[in-house]
Structure 1
Amino acid sequence: MGNRLSSEKPRLLWLSHFIPYPPKGGALQRSFNLLKEASRYFDIDLFSLVQKFPVEENFGSLEKGLEICRKELSKYTSSIEFFPINAEKKGPNKALTAIKAGLSLSPYIEYWLSSDELSTRLLEVGSGGKYALVHCDTVGIARYASKLVSAKKILNHHNIESHMQYRRAKGESNIAKKLYFLLDAMKISYLEKRYCHEFDLNIVCSDLDGERLSKRLHVNTHVVPNGVDTEYFVSSDGESEVKDSLIFAGGMTWYPNYQAMEFFIKEVWPILKVKRPTASITIVGRGGEKLRPVVGADSTISLTGFVDDVRPYIERASVYICPIFVGGGTKLKVLDALSMSKAMVAHPIACEGIEVEQGKNVELAQTPEAMADKILYLLDNPEVRGRLGRAGRELIENCYSFRAVGDDMAERYIGLLGERG
């Protein structure tokens, strides 16, 4: 159980499909910071599924990881309960789970996140009127929120999952995988249609995601953008840039990151190396060894794996690259790099939902040739890198601080309590 003293704040149940700690990249970073900011306004109980692999990878063992996560999250919650995922009780097996999901009526994200223990626990608390609000962190566990009949319900969308899966299917060359992803996208689309209307509010990461959801389903949406801890992600001027060096930060266990770096290494890197033999790149994030067959013996490409602190790596690089061309939501890695005043070359899709401007705070490129040329341009012009970096930091300070994001989210949540129905 958590240790934070209860208060007169409205009670909020936070349903999560992963333990929102540590705040190291992507959805983890968003969920942790939103929970942290919400704790200033609400008395929070956290019910979280346990995805074993990231906990074990981050902390060395499941038991140690659960202990540390409970201790850290107790700073922002009144109680914490962890629940096993059915598909992981005998150990994670994504391939087997994917096959079983494919043969079921459920999409992968719903089938995989099934938990008998969580379902039973919510039946126990569902009709007691204990909670004023329920925050459900993904559509994959939306069915559980329906058990809490008296609370106002909010559904968080890290991405519009159906749209992202349709994009994945479109870009897949393997016909069997393409058909699987297409069928899964159709299932997710039905899941969204079934459950999004049951929630009083659907929160999205960007206006674009809001349009994608509301245009199709006509549901109540509110933009809660991804943000940055601007006091943490700030340039310290303590690291000297390494000449002609690039960086990408993101785990290769998430397929948009892997596809982006596979594309970059195969298509952009050869062009760049011909024109700039001294160029080097560091790829930071868990699962980096998945890229080893693509990297081969190239010693100018460094795969670090997971690191506890990505900031020194970003500071040492001359240019941050983000060639992501699939996915949805907004990319926290882009916000983090901008917050650290780092000049960036990115694919336009990587910056969807973020108010960047070409040539002002980012350089955008889609083709391998254009991406290589933009990188070379920045490597050759340190004054341009500095100007882009300063403008990027200014954008983050003005629009994407998690404190301001949390204030706006809490105001909207509190507003739900005064609405009828």
Structure 2
Amino acid sequence: MKILLITPRVPYPPYRGDKLKIFNLIKRLSRRHEIHLLCFAQTRQDLENLQHLRTYCRHIDHVKLPVWLSLLKCFAGLFTQIPLQVQYFKSRRMQNLIDLTCRQHHFDVIHTHLIRMAQYTAEKHRPVKVLDLTDAVSLYLQRFTARAKNPFVKLLLKIELRRMMRYERILEKFNACFVCSEPDREQLRITAPEAAIKLIPNGVDLEYFSPNGSLADPDPDKIIFTGNLSYYPNIDGILYFTGEIFPLIKNERPSAKLYIVGQSPPAKVRALASRDVIVTGFVEDIKQHYVSSAVAVSPIRFGAGTLNKIIEPLALGVPVVATSVGVEGLEVIQGEDILVADQPQAFARHVVRVMQEPALREKLRQGGMAVIRKQYDWDPIVARLEEIYHDLVRQKSGEEKPKALSAID
């Protein structure tokens, strides 16, 4: 098939959730299909990163979108009913590029990534068009609003939430929409009741995230937290962990050390650094940090979608302790594949148990690896996506044949 993939950011390097997913889709789809990629580029580095994708894409094009221009569009968007994150990526040049590309090529599928890009393809009648949401933005905003304490921030979030809940009706204009967990689908059944919403989970690259005997043995005192640290749920989660959970762990295991690993840590996260808290910033090889850890933690209190900070360490056999929000939508069994707790005392106790009990650690190691290999390997996930593509193309073809015959008559 010939597939046009439209995404708001250059999906390289694959170091953050949205880029990671699209990169893995492109990499695997390109083995059997012809991929054309259109995206925004904000920096010179983005333009250089595009070159790494030419191995997988027949054609790549971009529209420059500097941050200052996006912020100006958001300011103008304050006086509309359009969600700010949609306004941020609004571009006549991108619409023109997509229209031109569709005239020049006969695509079988247009795969639009994230709701902020739906504005460019919702009104197209041909070919098959799918919208890859990953998660329900309205669900994320609901939870963010409930957690926010600053009155001004809370007001802005409420306004954005109302706009997004109305805007999500745009899903009904696509042949299919994808989310990665059942809670996200349930939310979108409320805001877009006529939309065809299918589950396509986030996956793991098991070629990379695979245990290897040549790697170092884990440090029995090392706790790891990973994530994009410019993402507010991650900031909230690590501040919660260091403020309310880590001191309880230190009471029982004084030698414990916490490693905070991820790009773009803000000042409040960098300020956590101490003898027992190591803030690494961005690292090239996150696998090495995972496998050298006794336990990975995901103390996330709000958000949506499926978290890579959980499925990646599980794939490597690293035990994970998470909140119920963190494991939402994952097909894991508490006590068998992962440990779950929402109160600081219970969370801390789980972490200490993993560090001190070899039998529990091994049980979680085996359970976690098994469930990831069964449910979250990118190869079968992409195979399922291809099946959906083919079904939709056949349905579209069946709908158009009677129209063509009618025109001949």
Same fold by TM (over 0.5)?
yes
2:67 aligns with one of 78, 85, 88: 88
* Corresponding residue for residue 57 of structure 1: none
Counting only pairs closer than 5 Å after superposition, residues 276-287 of structure 1 correspond to structure 2 as 276-287=253-264
Counting only pairs closer than 5 Å after superposition, residues 231-250 of structure 1 correspond to structure 2 as 231-237=207-213, 238-250=215-227
* Corresponding residue for residue 51 of structure 2: 71
Counting only pairs closer than 5 Å after superposition, residues 3-402 of structure 1 correspond to structure 2 as 10-52=1-43, 62-63=44-45, 65-67=46-48, 69-85=49-65, 88=67, 99-126=75-102, 130-146=106-122, 148-193=124-169, 195-218=170-193, 219-237=195-213, 238-292=215-269, 295=272, 298-402=274-378
Q: Distance in 2 between matches of 1:215 and 1:112?
A: 25
Q: Specify whether residues 80 and 37 from structure 1 end up closer, same or farther in structure 2 by C-alpha distance, changes over 3 A only.
A: same
What's the CA shift string for 1:37-91, capped at 9, x where partnerless? Answer: 2223321110011243xxxxxxxxx25x423x33321121110001122x5256x
User: Is 1:41–1:410's contact at 8 Å kept on the other side of the alignment?
Assistant: no
Question: How far off is 1:100 after superposition?
Answer: 4.6
Q: Distance in 1 between matches of 2:364 and 2:209?
A: 16
Q: What secondary structure, in the 3-state scheme, does the structure 2 residue paired with 1:348 have? A: coil
* Corresponding residue for residue 379 of structure 2: 403
Q: Distance in 2 between matches of 1:289 and 1:316?
A: 25
What's the CA shift string for 1:283-328, capped at 9, x where partnerless? Answer: 00012243346516x3200000011110111111111001112111
What's the CA shift string for 1:93-114, capped at 9, x where partnerless? Answer: 6xx6655544432212101112
What's the CA shift string for 1:217-272, capped at 9, x where partnerless? Answer: 22111111111111200122321221221001112101111110011111112222
Q: Specify whether residues 97 and 263 from structure 1 end up closer, same or farther in structure 2 by C-alpha distance, changes over 3 A only.
A: farther
Q: Distance in 2 between matches of 1:163 and 1:346?
A: 19
For residue 261 of structure 1, what is the amino acid of its counterpart? I
Q: Distance in 2 between matches of 1:266 and 1:99?
A: 35
Q: Distance in 2 between matches of 1:143 and 1:127?
A: 18
User: Is 2:165–2:191's contact at 8 Å kept on the other side of the alignment?
Assistant: no
For residue 335 of structure 2, what is the amino acid of its counterpart? G
What's the CA shift string for 1:1-48, capped at 9, x where partnerless? Answer: xxxxxxxxx221101011111222312111111122222332111001
What's the CA shift string for 1:177-209, capped at 9, x where partnerless? Answer: 01101110111111111x101100001112332
Query: Comparing 311-320 with 209-218, which one deviates more in the overlay?
Result: 209-218
Q: Give the gaps of 5 or more residues in structure 1.
A: 1-9, 53-61
- Matched residue count: 395
For residue 183 of structure 1, what is the amino acid of its counterpart? I
Q: Distance in 2 between matches of 1:99 and 1:70?
A: 29
Q: Distance in 2 between matches of 1:372 and 1:101?
A: 44
* Corresponding residue for residue 405 of structure 2: none
Q: Distance in 1 between matches of 2:171 and 2:96?
A: 22
Q: What secondary structure, in the 3-state scheme, does the structure 1 residue paired with 2:85 have? A: helix
For residue 9 of structure 2, what is the amino acid of its counterpart? F
Q: Give the gaps of 5 or more residues in structure 2.
A: 400-409
